[in-house]
A and B are shown apart, each in its own frame.
Chain A
Amino acid sequence: MTTGRRFCSDSRNGHTLRVDTLLQTLKDGLTIGSLYALIALGYTMVYGILKFINFAHSDIVVLGAWLSLVIATAIVKALGLEAGQTAPWWVGPFVLLCAMLVCGLIGFTIERLAYKPLRKAPKLNVLITAIGVSLFLQNTGQLQFVFGTRPQPIPSLLSDQVLFAIGNMQVRLLDLVVIGTAFVLMIALEWLVFHTKLGRAMRAVSFDVRTAGLMGIPVDRVISITFVIGSSLAAAGGFLWALSFTSIKQPADTSWVLLGLKAFVAAVVGGIGNVRGAMFGGLAIGMLEVFGQQYINPALKDVYVFAALIVVLLVKPGGILGKATVEKV
């Protein structure tokens, strides 16, 4: 093992702050954070428009991860690649696109079948329906003929080569692809919401559903599109998650629940209903978690996230970017 370069040693604590470790932590925080952000967007968009928490959102992430795995495995098999061999470059984007399309369609269906009939019902009914949808997806997913209960590895879609290294910190193509894809998708969404006619309609519905309807905005169609977009972003989150962590756990695993919960915390911390808030919240929660784990105590990593939630709710209940911006989506 190479000894990394040492900078500014703090002799009082006996700790040495290593630059490569710091960079590694930054990279990890950015990866996790951008995934949280992608997932948080779905929570925040639905909340912005319908004012309810879509608890089934994290299960769409799981679906995205598993669909990616199933599609990638099928393609790799069709191409006749050996285990451990990297698939051609086009497989990754193709799998991502398929997963996003299918999940978008499923998000659309869920909204039509489960939430739309309850449009005029009390908010609590919709919330409980969302929990029901979540349980339905989890339990269907772990059926033997769907995804099953065993963890499965996703085939290698990207070369595992190290692009460059600083001390012990290695940057791989995978890291760049994960962070890059997440940011491209977030920028695309930002553009869609703030610079298109559709985005304006979404913002209008979020501002006041009834008035938006009176102004001739097709409210139901806008809500459907919101679900499709949120669900495809979740699918992208699931795909990138699968790429980063290779071995995918069964749909009802507790780790998925925690992932969804943290993305939800990110949305709340950033200011629920606020698209930029969700992106910011996701990155902030990811960084907080990884830095706390590296420099304070790794055993308490979930504690940092939920402590941050409590602090934000106490100090600024609307979320960090919640009240500052008037625009809500």
Chain B
Amino acid sequence: MHALISSRPVLSLVRTLALGAGLGLTALTGCDRGSSPSNAGAGKTASSGTPAPAPAATVGDIVIGHYGSLTGAEATFGLSTDNGIKLAVEEINAAGGVTIAGKSHKLVLKSEDTEGKPEKAGTVVTKLITADKVAAVIGEVASSVTLAGAPVAQQFGVPMITPSSTNPQCTAVGDMIFRVCFIDPFQGFACAKFAASDLKAKKAAILFDQAAAYSVGLKDEFEKNFKQMGGEIVAVEAYTKGEANFNPLLTKIREKGAELLFIPGYYTDVANIALQARKLGMKMPLLGGDGWDSSDLAKNGGAAIEGSFYSNHYASDQPTPEIQAFVTKYKAKFGETPDGLAALGYDAARVLADSMQRAGSTDGSKLRDAIATTKDFKGVTGTISINDKRDAVKPAVIVEMKGGKPVFRARVEP
């Protein structure tokens, strides 16, 4: 034992670190096959001679992975996205699948649960890539989780598209990471612009989640833009996800006379904040970002959330044919109105399939180049063009909560 350790100290160290980091044996296996990482996702399309086909997929199928919060506090995020991707995969397969080199291949979706926890993301992405041998990964919604999953996809050379993480850092992880949504600097700008020019607010207060990358980023951008537009930020207070008692924070804000309260958090906390703010007699409109987008917001917030606004990727009541066709299909399959995350999941899967077709391959680097050159793709959430930072450039919509439903209010162009 002693001899073994002294002869392979590095391996031993790697093993200890990998286990310590909670990645377990999968990470170690990953290191071992790291010499040709891009093969990880490429193998299964070559229908002959590949020794290791994906478990549940028949030969010739292309496996794509999705990691998301299928359970956990923000479960509707992951479930909506998963439904959106499922709908897209079903449609693509019904239309003959993805054609590569004259042969058509069916898409197979593998979904893994992160429980919305960053520490789970590394493990499940490693599993999708090494065990399920996915050609590409879609996920996550929450930026903090995406930031934990992206380095794994990058390391294995498997392209990844995050449907809805808006923090700028996400795609900066590496050249394999893309997104089909706008980024927080733009979302912050959109919220500030709406607050200043549409609501004509002069004084705003901010209540943000100091533990979420998304919330901190959006807060900074809103603050900067709102000040530039001549507004005043009268109070900035921080909470941590899972907080139950917002009374002390809200009491502080109440004294400052804000006309608007900006809450760049997730819907689970926003419902509680709204309820407690109204109980404290605060009647100003609340404004937030796409983290509010869930049917559970109105369910938990009730009357407290009425008349509040948030920026989003699309509004289901916009009368464009693309959106209405998508809403009808989604409702027929899942029995509920799709939220923005479902729409983005749908778009992400379709952009991916489109890129595979254009690349004529599922090889990591070829697929990456194809995703990077996506231009004017007609998505449900707007026309998608990927820029040199691997981000999508598209407009935002502002929706208003009316009768428990988000209703289209304004559109902000980039």
Task: Pick from A21, A249, A298, A301: contact of B268, CB below 8 A.
Answer: A249
Task: Pick from A151, A160, A246: contact of B296, CB below 8 A.
Answer: A151
Q: Which chain B residues lie closer than 8 Å to A149 at the CB level? A: 71-73, 75
Contact B254 A298 (CB under 8 A): no
Q: Give the Cβ gap from A244 to chain B, nearest Cβ, in Å.
A: 8
Contact B251 A21 (CB under 8 A): yes
Q: Which chain B residues lie closer than 8 Å to A252 at the CB level? A: 71-72, 115
- Separation of A327 and B4 alpha carbons in the complex (Å): 57
Q: Give the Cβ gap from B93 to chain A, nearest Cβ, in Å.
A: 27
Does A250 count as interface, using CB distance less than 8 angstroms?
yes
Contact A24 B251 (CB under 8 A): yes
- Of B16-24, B159-167, B235-243, the stretch lying at the interface with chain A is B235-243
Task: Pick from B249, B279, B300: contact of A293, CB below 8 A.
Answer: B249
Task: Pick from B71, B240, B249: contact of A302, CB below 8 A.
Answer: B240
Contact A151 B72 (CB under 8 A): no
Q: Which chain B residues lie closer than 8 Å to A140 at the CB level? A: none
Q: Which chain A residues lie closer than 8 Å to B325 at the CB level? A: none
- How many A residues touch the partner, as a band? 35 or more
Contact A152 B300 (CB under 8 A): yes
Given A1-B257, A250-B73, A252-B72, A151-B268 contact (CB < 8 Å): yes
Contact A255 B244 (CB under 8 A): yes
Q: Give the Cβ gap from B255 to chain A, nearest Cβ, in Å.
A: 7
Question: In A270-329, which residues have CB < 8 Å from any B CB?
Answer: 290, 293-294, 298-299, 301-302
Given A150-B75, A151-B271, A1-B281 contact (CB < 8 Å): yes
Q: How many chain-B residues does the 8 Å CB contact rule pick out? A: 39
Question: In B71-129, which residues have CB < 8 Å from any A CB?
Answer: 71-73, 75-76, 115
Q: Give the Cβ gap from B308 to chain A, nearest Cβ, in Å.
A: 15
Contact A246 B275 (CB under 8 A): yes
Q: Give the Cβ gap from B272 to chain A, nearest Cβ, in Å.
A: 5
Question: In A158-172, which residues have CB < 8 Å from any B CB?
Answer: 160, 168, 170, 172
Contact B238 A294 (CB under 8 A): no
Q: Give the Cβ gap from A293 to chain B, nearest Cβ, in Å.
A: 4
Most A-side CB within 10 Å, residue of B242, B249, B275: B242
Does A132 count as interface, using CB distance less than 8 angstroms?
no
Given A24-B251, A246-B300, A294-B251, A254-B76 contact (CB < 8 Å): no
Question: In B368-408, which residues have CB < 8 Å from any A CB?
Answer: none
Contact A250 B242 (CB under 8 A): no
Does B58 count as interface, using CB distance less than 8 angstroms?
no
Question: In B297-317, which residues have CB < 8 Å from any A CB?
Answer: 299-303
- Separation of A229 and B307 alpha carbons in the complex (Å): 45
- Separation of A24 and B279 alpha carbons in the complex (Å): 12
Contact B249 A298 (CB under 8 A): yes
Q: Which chain B residues lie closer than 8 Å to A84 at the CB level? A: 302-303
Task: Pick from A21, A25, A153, A298: contact of B255, CB below 8 A.
Answer: A21
Q: Which chain B residues lie closer than 8 Å to A246 at the CB level? A: 272, 275, 300
Q: Give the Cβ gap from B299 to chain A, nearest Cβ, in Å.
A: 7
Given A21-B255, A246-B272, A142-B71 contact (CB < 8 Å): yes
Given A252-B72, A299-B210, A153-B299 contact (CB < 8 Å): yes
**15 A-B residue pairings within 8 Å (CB atoms):** A1-B254, A150-B75, A151-B268, A152-B299, A153-B300, A170-B280, A246-B300, A247-B272, A250-B71, A254-B242, A255-B242, A255-B244, A290-B245, A298-B237, A299-B240
List 9 other contacts, CB 8 Å, given A24-B251, A170-B279, A246-B272: A32-B245, A83-B302, A151-B300, A153-B302, A172-B279, A255-B241, A255-B242, A294-B251, A299-B240
